[in-house]
Amino acid sequence: MKACWPLMGARSISDRRKVVTKGAGALALALFCIFGIALAQRHGLFDALNIGLMGMAGRARDSIAGSIGTAIMQMASAVGGTAGRLILLGLCLLGLWRRGRARAFWLLGVVIGGMLLNLALKQGFAAPRPDLLPHLDMVDSYSFPSGHAAGNMVFFGALAMLAGRRSTYVAAGLAIALIGISRVWLGVHWPSDVLAGWIEGLGWLVLCGVWLPARRGQDEGTGEAVMRGHAVSSDEAMDPEAVEGGRGGD
């Protein structure tokens, strides 16, 4: 019996390492895709797509309902901007703090880390803003990858992961899509900038998901052991009958 506990501990550590490796691999893949998009964009391979979609946005802006659409896009862009996102983050942290500090700290770390990652990528690529349409938003930073797209993928995606409900994922997806599209509508980002931002944010989320705290009622005890993929609490781990029962269920 004693010999099985070191084995279970080693197996648990090994599984954990595999999860971390997969998360790091997801971020590495996302960064690889971003570099590929940047290279393709620099060589004009995205020109047809970028100019075509931004041209459609320009025609929509000039249509009868264009002013209404622009007002909606400006509102979405403001909510998804750095200031708006930080205000929402503060409100969410206040709500999470009462339920569990670990979840609040995780959300804070995910959002701040995502912002720093995007800042580093922007400085590295140093891509200018598009000039096809008049800008309907004040911008003074580089264009690639889109900070709005990446930041809101991280923020709303993290909230959906914390909630763990399908409806929350749908709402998060709609918010992420609307804010990303708004940047093209306002003329301050190419569609490929937004795409790269979404990929960046998704890769960062997958990595950070490795450390996602358990929801209430799913918290794991400090003495938890893992046997054949089943969680066994510390009390059960000390009971040979519980262990034998766990074997029988495999």
CA distance 147 to 114: 9
User: Residue 147, exposed/middle/buried by CB under 10 A (0-12, 13-18, 19+)?
Assistant: buried
Residue ranges and CATH numbers for the domains of the chain are 23-57+67-213 (1.20.144)
pLDDT in tens, 75-93: 999 999 999 999 999 999 9
pLDDT in tens, 33-72: 999 999 999 999 999 999 999 999 999 999 998 899 999 9
Backbone angles phi, psi at 129, to 5 degrees: -75, 150
Q: Is the pTM of this model over 0.75?
A: yes
List, in order, residues 6 or more apart from 196 with CB less than 8 Å away.
33, 34, 37, 38, 144, 145, 146, 149
What pLDDT band is residue 12 in, cutting at 50, 70 and 90?
A: low
Residue (of 176, 191, 186) closest to 144 by Cα position: 191
- Comparing 51 with 227, the larger pLDDT belongs to 51
